[in-house]
Amino acid sequence: MSFIELDDGIGGTGRAAIGPLSDHADLLASAADGAALPCITDEHVWKLHGHLLKDIIAVDPIFVPRGEAAKQWNILISLIAALAARSHPRSRPFLALGGGSVGDVAGLAAALYMRGTPVIQIPTTLLAQVDSAVGGKTAIDAEGQKNLVGTFHSPMLVLADPALLATLDRRQMRAGAAEIVKYGMIADEGFFRWMEAHGETVIAADAHACAEAAQQCIRMKADAVAGDLRDEKGRRALLNFGHTFGHAFESVAGLGTLLHGEAVAAGMVLASQFAAATEYCAPDVPKRLVQLLDRLGLPTNLGALGLAGKGTTLLPHMLRDKKSDGRTATLVLPERIGEARLLRAVDEQRLRAFLELA
Ligand SMILES: NC(=O)c1ccc[n+]([C@@H]2O[C@H](COP(=O)([O-])OP(=O)(O)OC[C@H]3O[C@@H](n4cnc5c(N)ncnc54)[C@H](O)[C@@H]3O)[C@@H](O)[C@H]2O)c1
Ligand SMILES: O=C(O)C(=O)C[C@@H](O)[C@H](O)[C@H](O)COP(=O)(O)O
Ligand SMILES: [Zn+2]
C-alpha cells in the first residue's frame, strides 16, 4: 500500500492512503492502543459502513446530524462534551467517519479538545475523499455564513476507501465531481481532459476511476497546502475557485439547501463567465466548463439552483468571503483551463452589473 505524504509546511505531517480500509487494520489498532476509539459519524453512515471499522478495532460511535446540519455550535459543544465524558486523552486520536460536514465539525472538535488532539479522517463521500478530508480546514457555520468559525488542524491520517462510495446517491456523487473538475480548472488541463473522458464513470462510483480522481486531487491539494496551510499567501486560495459565488449561493438559498458541490459548480461557471467578460480569459473557457458540468448533470446557472433573479442579493455575501478585505471582493479567476489566478479588489460596479444580468 502506498501513502501520499501530507506535509502542512509548519511541522505537521500526516499521510493519506487510498484503498480498502481493511488494509489499515494494524495502523488503526496501534492508534487505538487497546482502547475503543471514539468515532464521530452520522447514523446513516454508521449503519452502512460502521461494521468495516468494528471488524478491525473497538469503536465507540458519537453521532451528529446528517449533512450541513452537523456544522453548528451546539453540535460542536456536544462533541466536546462526549469526548470529555469518555475521558478521552489528548494523546490518542479519534475518528471522523462521514462526508465533509462530519469531517469539518469533527476536525474542529479535534483542534479544540485539550488544545489539539489527533484526528483520523475516514471520508465516505466523493467530495470528502477528493477534497475536504485533506488540508486541515475545519469549520462550523455561524451567523448564516459558511465556515465562519474554524481552525487549521491537519489530520494525522486520511483513509479514503472508494468502495464506500457504492452506497452514495448520484446527486452526492455529482456534487463531489464538481470539486474534481475544480482541480482540473485551477491546476492541470490534462486532468480536466481526464474528467471530460471519465467524469461519468466517476459519478457511477466506479472504484478504479474514483481512486484515480482521489489520487490526483489529494496530490494537488497537498501541494497547495504544504506551501500555504493558513491560506495567507494566495497559493492555497486557488482551491477556493468557484467558492466566492458558491458560498454566497449556499447562504442565499439557506445553508443546507443546496449541496456544496452544486453551489461550487455554478460558482465556477459564474467566475469563469466574469473572467471572460473582463477579458481575463477567452470565452471558450466558460464554454468548455459548462459543457462538462452539463454532461455531469451539475447546475451551471442561477436558475438551475432555484436562484433566478437573485444575482444582486449575492453581493453582500461575496464581500463577507474570507478572501475579502471587507470592502472589496476577491475572486479566483481562470486564465485558461489548468491555470487560475487571484484577483483582489474586484471592481464592485462591474461585479454588480455582471450579477444583475446573471
Ligand atoms: N474542509 C474542507 O477543506 C472542505 C472542502 C470541501 C467541502 N467542505 C465542506 O464539506 C461539506 C460537504 O460535504 P459532503 O459533500 O461530503 O456532504 P455532507 O457531509 O454535507 O453530507 C453527506 C451526506 O451523505 C450521506 N453519506 C455520507 N457517506 C455516505 C455513503 N458512503 N453512502 C451513503 N450516504 C452517505 C451522509 O449521511 C449525508 O447525508 C460542506 O459543508 C463543505 O463546506 C470542506
Ligand atoms: O482547502 C481549501 O483551501 C479550499 O478552499 C477547499 C474548498 O473546497 C472548501 O470548500 C473549503 O472549506 C472552503 O474554505 P473557506 O475558507 O472558503 O471557508
Ligand atoms: Zn469546496
Residue 9 confidence (pLDDT): 85
Same domain, 259 and 314: yes
CATH of the domain at 52: 3.40.50.1970
Residue 10 confidence (pLDDT): 84
Question: What's the grid cell of residue 137?
Answer: 480546514
Neighbours of 208 (CB within 10 A): 11
For residue 221, tell me if it sits in a domain.
no
304-346 pLDDT per residue, tens: 999 999 999 999 999 999 999 999 999 999 999 999 999 999 9
Same domain, 10 and 27: yes
58-115 pLDDT per residue, tens: 999 999 999 999 999 999 999 999 999 999 999 999 999 999 999 999 999 999 999 9
**Nearest-atom index, ligand 1, CA of 139:** 1
Residue with the nearest Cα to atom 41 of ligand 1?
A: 101
What is the SS3 assignment for 70? Answer: helix
Amino acid at 202: V
**Mean local confidence (pLDDT), 124-143:** 98
Let me know if 240 is a catalytic residue.
yes
Same domain, 129 and 273: no
Residue 8 confidence (pLDDT): 86
- Secondary structure E strands in the chain: 3-7, 13-18, 37-41, 59-63, 94-98, 119-123, 137-142, 145-152, 157-160, 329-336, 339-346
Among all bound ligands, the one having the nearest atom to the CA of 103 is 1
For residue 218, tell me if it sits in a domain.
no
Name the residue range of residue 122's domain: 3-165
For residue 258, tell me if it sits in a domain.
yes
Degrees, nearest 5: CA angle 62-68-72: 65
CATH of the domain at 250: 1.20.1090.10
146-192 pLDDT per residue, tens: 999 999 999 999 999 999 999 999 999 999 999 999 999 999 999 99
Residue with the nearest Cα to atom 13 of ligand 2?
A: 240
Q: Which of 108, 142, 165 is the last residue of a domain?
A: 165
| Binding site membership of 100 for ligand 1 (Cβ less than 6 Å) | yes
For residue 230, tell me if it sits in a domain.
no
Q: What is the ipTM of this complex?
A: 0.99
Among 223, 238, 243, say which to mutate for ligand 2: greatest number of ligand atoms within 8 Å of CB.
Answer: 243
Domains in the chain, number: 2
Residue with the nearest Cα to atom 5 of ligand 2?
A: 240
| Binding site membership of 168 for ligand 1 (Cβ less than 6 Å) | yes
DSSP letter assigned to residue 352: H
Please tell me the pTM assigned to this model: 0.98
Given a cut of 80, whether residue 143 has pLDDT beyond it is yes
Q: Which of 106, 140, 165 is the last residue of a domain?
A: 165
264-291 pLDDT per residue, tens: 999 999 999 999 999 999 999 999 999 9
Degrees, nearest 5: CA angle 294-298-300: 70
Same domain, 187 and 330: yes
